[in-house]
Amino acid sequence: MPSYAVRSHTVQSSAAEPPAAGSPAVDFYAVGFARPDRWSMGKPTEQSHPWHAVEAHRPPEELDGEAELAVCGAIVQVWGSQRWERVGAGRTACPECCRLTAADRSLSSVR
C-alpha cells in the first residue's frame, strides 16, 4: 500500500480499505498555480503568491493540469510535479494555504 508524506507525519492510503474512524480526510496536498482568468489593458495582473495547496485524495500526478479549488478558495491549475511540502515553505506560497495546511516555513537541512 502506498504512503505519502503529509506535513510532519505519514498517512497510509489504500483503495481497498475504507478510511478508519478519526483518520485524516486528506491523504496529502497537491500544488496548484493561480492563473488570472481575466486582465485589462494597461493594468497588468500581479500575483506575489501564485502557489496554492489543493486537497488531494489521489496522487498529484493524476491531477496534473486539472482545474481545482485550493484550500484558500482560489481556483488553480494543479502542477503534479510539485510537492506542497517544498513549495509551501517558499516565499511565493499563498499565506492562507500555508496557515490552513500548517506548512512549515523553513526547509529542513539534509543530513
What size, in residues, is the chain?
A: 111
Cβ proximity of 15 and 54 under 8 Å: no
Residues of the chain with pLDDT under 50: 1-23, 38-40, 103-105
Cβ proximity of 30 and 80 under 8 Å: yes
Q: What whole-number distance in Å separates Cα of residue 76 and Cα of residue 20?
A: 30
3-state secondary structure of 11: strand
Which pTM does this prediction carry?
0.61
Q: What whole-number distance in Å separates Cα of residue 16 and Cα of residue 72?
A: 31
Secondary structure letter of residue 107 according to DSSP: P
Mean pLDDT of the chain: 71
- Note the pLDDT of residue 34: 86
